Amino acid sequence: MSAGPAGTAGYGEAAEQLAVQYESVDFTAVHRTLLHLYPAPPARVLDIGAGTGRDAAALAALGHRVVAVEPTPELRAAGRRLHPDADIRWLADALPGLPRLSAEGGRFDLVLITAVWMHLTPAEGPPAMAAVARLLAPGARLALTLRHGPVPPGRRMFDLPPERTVTLAQDHGLRLLHRGERADLHGRADVSWTELVLERGR
Residue of 191, 193, 172, 197 lying closest to 182 (CA atoms): 193
Confidence of residue 10 (pLDDT cuts 50, 70, 90): very low
8 Å CB contact between 8 and 155:
no
- Selected residue with higher pLDDT from 167 and 19: 167
8 Å CB contact between 40 and 100:
no
For the chain, give the mean pLDDT. 90
pLDDT of residue 19: 54
Residue 32: partners with Cβ closer than 8 Å, 6 or more residues away: none
Rounded-to-integer distance, Cα 97 and Cα 162, Å: 21
pLDDT of residue 3: 53
pTM metric for this prediction? 0.90
8 Å CB contact between 114 and 3:
no
* CATH of 6-194 among 3.50.50.60, 3.30.565.10, 3.40.50.150, 3.40.30.10: 3.40.50.150
Mean pLDDT of 11-19: 57
Rounded-to-integer distance, Cα 74 and Cα 8, Å: 11
pLDDT tens per residue, range 122-157: 999 999 999 999 999 999 999 999 999 999 888 889
Listing DSSP states for 164-183 in one string gives: HHHHHHHHTTEEEEEEEEEE
The domain segmentation of the chain, as residue ranges, is 6-194
- Selected residue with higher pLDDT from 92 and 74: 92
